[in-house]
Amino acid sequence: MTTPSSPPTQTEDTTPLRPVRLPWRWLVGSVGLLVTTVLIAMAVGPAGLPASAIAIEIVNYVPGIDVDGGLSELESAVLWELRAPRIVLAMLVGAMLAVAGAGYQGVFRNPLADPYLLGVAAGAGLGATLAIVNDVDQNLVPVIAFVGGTAGVAATYALGRGVGGRDTNTLILAGVAVAAFLTAVQTYVNQRNTDSLREVYGWILGRFLTAGWHDVLIVLPYIVVALAVILAHRRLLDVLSVGQNEAGSLGVPAARVRLVVVLAATLGTAAAVAVSGLIGFVGIVVPHIVRMLAGASYRVVLPLAAIVGAAFLVGADLIARTIVAPGELPVGVVTAFIGAPFFTLVLRTSGSRW
Amino acid sequence: MKRSLTLAGLVLAPFLLLACGDEDPESTSAGAPSDSASFPVTVGSGKNAVELESQPEQIVSLSPTATEMLFAIGAGDQVVAADQYSNYPAEAPTTDLDGFEPNVEAILGYEPDLVIASSDPGDLVASLDRVEVPTLLLPAAVTLDGTYEQIEQLGVATGHVGEAGEVVGQMRSDIESMTADLPDGAPVSYFHELDANLYTVTSSTFIGQLYEMAGMTSIADDAPDAAGDYPQVSPEYVLSSDPDLIFFADGGANGGVTTEDIAGRPGWDHLTAVQDGHVVEVDPDIASRWGPRVVDYLQVLFDARSELQPVG
């Protein structure tokens, strides 16, 4: 791991923008952070499995190696059926929220844009609330939340287009209106069904509690495709960041890029929200921290945000499930509680570069 | 008693027919001194004390537990309206009143001479006080003695002192005979599931004390105080503590959790309780109220406990 950082002054590119590569040191550093976090998250938990036994258990998965002294059947189930899928799901959701946040910020050229901007959170929240209140089968709650989330964004688009204007600000304002309306409906439904408040509340604060491989498999295709699409647009997002007219004169179809990125970010976010609830702050704090530390180019920000977002959420979830163990905190509380001060710190030391 | 029945009858003819058939012979045969109940009377103590000028005949109950208690002590025919969650007994006059978000005007529409609530949201008591309607606050009991006390208070407040005493006496003796049959040995462990997010109870809750009487300890007792009396535990913790018994209160006909759902959760099929069939569905209403039916709940617990380890 002693790869020297590649010099940023390469001259093979002829695009009008300065060529930007993801610096090696940031790549290695962020991957190292992710691997460390995941290993700690595997080893620590309320079940108190011995770390050595976990190491043996993991080593046994290498073909041709069979060491004795691993975990009991129940302990093995804890590790592979609870901890492992939970960590994988946190990685997927964290990467998705961070990349979607960065994508939204690029498309709307607005530092406050987050993945929930266009009504996906309010829509998914209403969907989940209706499902929980009506005693719908537990396994269908994510599906209904997903439908609600995409319906919320569709309503925002329809409204934004209806009032005219292809302006992104119109879209943002439409999102505000849709979110306010859907939240009001959700509050009304909750008031009429106070006995299921705790369950709804738990969902709103976000959790990976019921995560099994089942949940991972549900969201995996959506998130992988969404991540791939947004990452594929990283160079075009850089072009967009110089301004819409300039982008147009460079032959970049700004409107189409915006639509594709927003669509991918929305679908991915809706899938993430469906299985994990509303986990706040990841979509804002991670892209900004990455941007402040490693530069503003989307060719750097997007891949780094994916890795750091994954590590951040795995770490936050680790804290959520251990700090009051065997009780559990909603992970959304942890992301905001840690994210906000850390964010302020980075903001102070680096100076805003937005 | 007679006078009150006549008055209430004007309002509540259908209920009265039921009530007369059921309750009258009982109260007379037991020689319940409901006529000797004296008004005016002060019920409760401290800032919850409430003064009643005469026997209330138009009671509005915003607490499902209080509704159950009122009917158990034979004061059911004095209840004109009960909140939307008062689903027991069947003859309770359930309305769409909401005890969590009380609408004072809707309550006053029933012209109550006594309102009973378990909490005081939105200054309910003060609002009712302004129109001189007394409110009796009977918050969630913390112990069984709290339940007995509330039943007796309701007896005083409604003029059914003797019947209230009988109900309490019956509860005490029922519970005593159950505990006498408790198998010896160390307490067994249980997990009480409140909802599918794995919120549960510790032994210091009201319901936790019932479990304790049945010789069971909650696996959540290790939770730090910060997690509260109703902590949420992680599935990992449930698996690693491998409870002897699992009780779930989030079942129900429409999409509720089933025994199969629990067995089908990731890793849960390895649990001893699942493998040995010691997963018990409980009625969430009985499990969350502190009324006379705690005896029924205890019976369920003792049955589950005995099945686990036969007496003798």
Q: For A136-154, how does the pLDDT look when each residue is reduced to its tens digit (9 = 90+)? A: 776 777 888 889 988 998 8
User: What is the C-alpha to C-alpha distance for residues B133 and B108, in angstroms, rounded to an integer?
Assistant: 9
Asked if A45 has any chain B CB less than 8 Å from its own CB, the reply is yes
Residues in chain A within 8 Å Cβ distance of B85:
195
Single-letter residue type at B45: S
pLDDT digits (tens, 9 = 90+) for A231-250: 999 988 888 877 767 777 77
Instruction: Give how far A143 is from chain B: nearest CA, Å.
Output: 15
- Residue of A44, A75, A328 for testing the chain B interface, max B β-carbons within 10 Å: A328
Q: Looking at domain A74-350, does it have CATH number 1.10.3470.10?
A: yes
pLDDT at residue number B57: 94
Whether the Cβ atoms of residue B230 and residue B199 lie closer than 8 Å to each other = yes
- Domains of chain B are 2-173 (3.40.50.1980), 181-308 (3.40.50.1980)
C-alpha B137/C-alpha B49 separation (Å) is 9
Give the whole-angstrom CA distance, residue B294 versus residue B144. 9
- List the single residue in B with minimal CA-CA distance to A135: B255
Average pLDDT, chain A: 82
- Choose the weakest-confidence range: A115-119, A206-210, B69-73: A206-210
- DSSP one-letter code for B307: H
The pairing of beta strand B216-218 with beta strand B279-281: unpaired
Rounded-to-integer distance, Cα B115 and Cα B107, Å: 8
Read off the pLDDT band of A307 (50, 70, 90).
very high
Question: Could you tell me which chain B residue has the CA closest to the CA of A79?
Answer: B236
Residue-level pLDDT at B242:
92
Tell me if chain A has a CB within 8 Å of the CB of B197. Answer: yes
A53 touches chain B (CB under 8 A): no
In this predicted model, what pLDDT tens digit does every residue of A281-291 receive, in sequence order? 899 889 988 98
Q: Residue B266 and residue A73: Cβ atoms within 8 Å?
A: no
Check if B104 contacts A (Cβ < 8 Å).
no
pLDDT in tens, A170-210: 888 888 899 999 999 998 998 888 777 777 877 777 777 66
Res B46: pLDDT: 75
Nearest Cβ partner for B266 among A81, A321, A327 = A81
B236:A83 CB<8 A? yes
Phi-psi region of B86 (alpha: psi -120 to 50; beta: other; left: phi over 0): beta
Residue to test with chain A: of B202, B221, B232, B242, most A Cβ within 10 A: B232
A77 → closest Cβ in B199, B223, B270: B270
Question: What pLDDT does residue A1 have?
Answer: 40
Q: What is the mean pLDDT of residues B287-298?
A: 94
Give the pLDDT confidence of A317-344 residue by residue, as tens digits: 999 888 887 777 888 889 888 888 877 8
User: Rounded to the nearest 5°, which phi and psi values hold at A277?
Assistant: 80, -170
Residue range A202-223: mean pLDDT, rounded: 80
> For residues B139 and B17, which has the higher predicted lDDT (pLDDT)?
B139
Residue B75 neighbours by CB under 8 Å, 6+ apart = B59, B154, B155, B158, B159, B160, B163
Distance CA A335, CA A312 (A): 8
Residue A128 and residue B240: Cα distance in Å, rounded?
30
Asked if B206 and B288 touch (Cβ cutoff 8 Å), the reply is no
Would the pTM count as exceeding 0.90?
no
pLDDT, tens only, B107-165 = 999 999 999 999 988 889 999 999 999 999 999 999 999 999 999 999 999 999 999 99
A152 burial (CB, 10 Å; 0-12 / 13-18 / 19+) is: buried
Q: Could you tell me which residue, B23 or A107, shows the higher pLDDT?
A: A107
What confidence tier does A108 reach under pLDDT thresholds 50, 70, 90? confident
- pLDDT mean across residues, chain B: 84
Work out the percent of chain A whose per-residue pLDDT is above 70: 89
CA distance A179 to chain B (A): 24
The 8-class DSSP code of residue B227 comes to: G
- The reply to whether A217 touches chain B by the CB within 8 Å rule is no
Residues 244-303 of B with CB under 8 A from A: 252, 254-257, 261, 265-267, 270-271
Residue of A229, A247, A285 whose CA lies nearest to A111: A285
